[in-house]
Amino acid sequence: MAKENIETKALEYCMDMLGGKWKPIILYHVSKGTNRFNKLFNEIEGINRQMLSKQLKSLERSGILDRTLYGEIPPRVEYTLTPLGKSLLPVVQAMTKWGQKQTKEKVEVVEVPQNQQLPLF
Amino acid sequence: MAKENIETKALEYCMDMLGGKWKPIILYHVSKGTNRFNKLFNEIEGINRQMLSKQLKSLERSGILDRTLYGEIPPRVEYTLTPLGKSLLPVVQAMTKWGQKQTKEKVEVVEVPQNQQLPLF
DNA sequence: CTGTATCCGCGGTGATACTG
DNA sequence: CAGTATCACCGCGGATACAG
């Protein structure tokens, strides 16, 4: 032992933040400028209010989103990315890019040659 | 409607592949060259055999891992990344990098200035 | 060595209705 | 407009034992 894996901890930490079905999607929409509850609710297909509320609260607790309540009638709430949330966008973007590539290549299944050693990590 | 969100679908697709507690961690270890069952089992702290088996099978079904069984006694199995699996490494790497940064900055909490508009997406 | 079988708790996820 | 309350399902994740 003794070799406590730093990368593993980092991955776990990240998955704690981004885990679940909705969080990356919410982050994406907020990053695009959608910041009000019902707007998010309408744009995110398949979610219901409770889920949206729960996930928003979770993201808020994690320090990824800020929630601003304006004391108006009718009430207005705006969600914005914190600096921490913004730092997460490259990750979301990497996931998006990968997903787009795959869903596209479903059609044009090209023979992918065996890649050589990737020097990642 | 009609505005079916491509990025959202891409994100969902990616989360289907990488979702759950263990998959990114397994991918990371396999990418580092650990490819035998018990080696993975020993290196991944906190997992049990069934979970490892389940996740490996799931990754195999997703086309992310290849499983090679050598007809030897005792049996030997090796897991390797498929091209699809390799294409996923940048995503895992992005998550790792983010997680490392955050866990480090826990100590040296510098005042982070308000970032200007990020042109992501 | 490399798994599978069985059993189970808990929480993520969800539909619906109600509230300030 | 922006949530919360309630109820329920289901499968992930896990402990332990068994198998080829």
Q: What pTM does this model have?
A: 0.85
Give tens-digit pLDDT for A75-101.
999 999 999 999 999 999 999 999 999
- Bigger pLDDT: B70 or A115? B70
Closest chain A C-alpha to B57 CA, distance in angstroms:
20
Domain boundaries, chain B: 13-104
Longest dimension (CA), chain B: 61
Å between A83 CA and nearest CA of chain B: 7
CA atoms within 13 Å, Cβ hemisphere of B99: 22
Q: Where are the alpha helices (DSSP H) in chain A?
A: 6-18, 23-31, 37-43, 49-61, 83-87, 89-105
Structure tokens at B106: 């826990």
pLDDT above 70 for A117 = no
Mutate which: A96, A104, A105, A109, vs B, most B CBs within 10 A: A96
Whole-number pLDDT of residue A118: 40
- Binned at pLDDT 50, 70 and 90, residue A112 comes out as very low
Q: Band the pLDDT of A108: cuts 50, 70, 90.
A: low
**Residues 6+ positions from A120 with CB-CB distance below 8 Å:** B31, B89, B90, B93
Which CATH code, of 1.10.3720.10, 1.10.10.10, 1.20.1530.20, 1.20.1440.120, is assigned to B13-104? 1.10.10.10
Cβ-Cβ contacts under 8 Å, B18 against chain A: 95
